[in-house]
Amino acid sequence: MTGFRGRLTRGAAIASVLLLAACSGQEAAAPAPMPDAAPPGEAPAPPGEGSAIQLSALSAADMDAQPLAGELGCSFSTGTGSPLLIAKGDVASRAPAQGLVKVAGMVERISAPGGFDGMPRGAVFTGQDKTIRITLTGPAAGGGESPPSPATLTWERPDGGRLTLAGRWECGP
C-alpha cells in the first residue's frame, strides 16, 4: 500500500505543477536530469586543471640555484622589484634563449627561439604545459643602454588557464 500511496503523491505533485503552468499560460519546465556519476575506475582530472596560475617573483637564491648561460639577458617585472621571468641567450646564436619562472612555488625552465636576438622586441617562451608571451605595449621609457619597455606577460596552459600581467620588459647586459 505504501508504494501505491507514494506513486499517488508524486502523481498529484506533477499534476499540480502542470495545472499551475496551464493556468499561468507558461509551459511546465521539465525536471532537470540528474548528472551521471563518473564511471567507476575513471581517473579524476589532474591537479591544476582549470586552477589559477600562481606566478611568484624569482629570488636571488632561485636564480643562483639554476644559473642560466648566455651573454645578455632580459627580465619581466611588475614593479615589485624581483623579476617574474628572467632569460639569457647569446647574440647571433641559433641556440634558444633559456629562462626561469616560478609557478606554484616551483622554479621551472623555459626557452625561446633565437638566442638573445629573439628577445628584445618581445618573445614567446615555452616549457612544460605552458606558453608565455611577452608583448611590448609601448616605446622604451627612459635613457641609457637598456631602458625598460612597457609590456604584458601572458601565460597560457593547454587546459585553457590564462594569466595576463602588465609590467615592463628590460633587456641588456
**pLDDT one-digit tens code per residue, 52-65:** 899 999 999 999 99
Distance CA 43, CA 39 (A): 9
Q: Which domain CATH number covers 70?
A: 2.40.128
Please indicate, yes or no, if residue 46 is contained in any of the structural domains.
Answer: no
In-domain check, residue 15: no
**pLDDT for res 144:** 82
For the record, the C-alpha cell of 68 comes out as: 642560466
19 is a domain residue? no
Report yes or no on 14 lying in a domain.
Answer: no
Report which of residues 159 and 31 the model is more confident about.
159
In a domain, 125, yes or no: yes
**112-169 tens-digit pLDDT:** 999 999 999 999 999 999 999 999 999 998 888 889 999 999 999 999 999 999 999 9
Which residue's C-alpha cell is 616560478? 102
What is the predicted pLDDT for the residue at 49?
Answer: 58
Per the domain annotation, does 168 fall within a domain?
Answer: yes
The Cα-based distances of 164 to 60, 81, 135 in angstroms read: 24, 18, 11
- CA gap 17, 37 in Å, rounded: 28
| Domain around 153 | 55-172
Distance separating the N- and C-terminal Cα atoms of the chain: 88
pLDDT digits (tens, 9 = 90+) for 32-48: 333 333 333 333 333 44
Render pLDDT for 63-119 as a digit per residue (tens, 0 to 9).
999 999 999 999 999 987 799 999 999 999 999 999 999 999 999 999 999 999 999
Per-residue pLDDT tens digits for 13-24: 333 333 333 333
Task: Please tell me the distance from the alpha carbon of residue 16 to that of residue 24, in angstroms, as a whole number.
Answer: 12
Question: To which H or E segment does residue 3 belong?
Answer: helix 2-24
- What pTM did the predictor assign? 0.70
Number of structural domains (the chain) is 1
Q: Residue 50: which residues within 8 A CB-CB, separation 6 or more?
A: 159, 160, 161
Do the domain assignments include residue 133? yes
CB 116 within 8 A of CB 123: no
CB atoms inside a 10 Å sphere around CB 4: 8
How is residue 30 annotated by DSSP? Answer: P
